[in-house]
Amino acid sequence: MNDPFDRYSRQVKYSPLGPEGQRRLSVSKALICGCGALGSMIAERLARAGVGSLRIVDRDWVELSNLQRQTLFTEEHARESTPKAAAAVQTLRSINGQIELEACVADVTYRNMSELAAGCDLILDGTDNFETRFLINDFALDSGTPWIHGGCLGASGQVLSIVPGQTACFRCLVPDLPPREALETCDTAGVLGPAIGVVASWQAAEALKVLSGNEAAVCNGLIIIDTWQSDCRIVKLSASPNCRACGAGELPFLSGDIRTEITVLCGKNAVQLVSALPPSTDEGATLQRLAKDLRGLGDVLLNPYFLRLSLPTDHTLTIFRGGRTVVEGTTDEAEAKSILARTLGS
């Protein structure tokens, strides 16, 4: 009978990892928050490396503009608007059938953070916003779970490994939420696919260190990469005694004391609202009834994950199971709420 580790033979021959490190990888579980550019490549690298279980969470669906840098998706996924988490798991199952894969089509919030991370040994940041990173940081400090931050814009990016109790936390680096208007996004500044690849691969390498039992090799600093200027440097970063998170123990994002119910989505002409529907014990049936009621208002698409209504006003409503709704065609929060109220009722 073939050794199940045969497929990882080149990796096992790397002595700092070795057979014991591979065994540890095979019984580990990682949570990937966000499966866009960074998250999709991280997921692929960890799946190919033999990490035993991956839980992939993403709130978005595949679009044609994603394919330039989001490696697990195809034109068919874009045509069908397949949720990214589901599309990623579909592709990864064809890459490695030995590991466990779980897709969660959801937004990461203070309400579900603990449930999503349950049983996970490590969290990886594939998100596109600071509030979710602050939430992950709060949870990591509260639970003692390591996590790997990554970010990329233009041709540059950064990676920071956070091991609670041993390294600086994310709020030692970024003490407070930056104003939204002060931040550039991929939509305004663009992003190069190869830069994404470098950052995501470095995040995956840091993850393999943690999950294989080699935490001593984790980089104790902020890795800054510029692929256009061919520059890479590491900025030493120590835990700050004045940090309100790891120093003072304040975790307002995990408690929900600081949260955003309405979000302008990065890279989209769209606004997300946390919940547009009343709670239901049968979310699938609720969407089916709603699809029937809305057919007279515009074109309706219904699949196992969401209902999409395309209105004659060039606005599109995508309503997910559970009620989370994305209004496309505006970045004005008040207008999005008004469109939703007119369509679904206040």
Annotated catalytic sites, by residue? 186
Secondary structure (3-state) at 339 = helix
Give me the count of residues in the chain. 346
- What phi and psi values does residue 335 have, to the nearest 5 degrees? -65, -40
Q: What is the DSSP letter of 258?
A: S
DSSP string covering 175-218? -SPPPGGG---HHHH-B-HHHHHHHHHHHHHHHHHHHTT-GGGS
Residue with tokens 């969290």, as numbered in its chain: 123
Secondary structure (3-state) at 246 = coil
Total Cβ atoms within 10 A of residue 295: 12
Contact 218, 161 (CB under 8 A): yes
Measured CA distances, 215 to 161, 218, 267 (Å): 10, 5, 35
Total Cβ atoms within 10 A of residue 40: 30
Q: What is the amino acid identity at position 194?
A: P
For helices 193-211 and 18-26, angle between their N-to-C axes, nearest 10 degrees: 100
Q: Going by DSSP bridges, is the β-strand pair 316-320/306-310 parallel, antiparallel, or unpaired?
A: antiparallel
Residue with tokens 């470098």, as numbered in its chain: 198
For the record, the structure tokens of 185 come out as 């996004």
Secondary structure (3-state) at 320 = strand
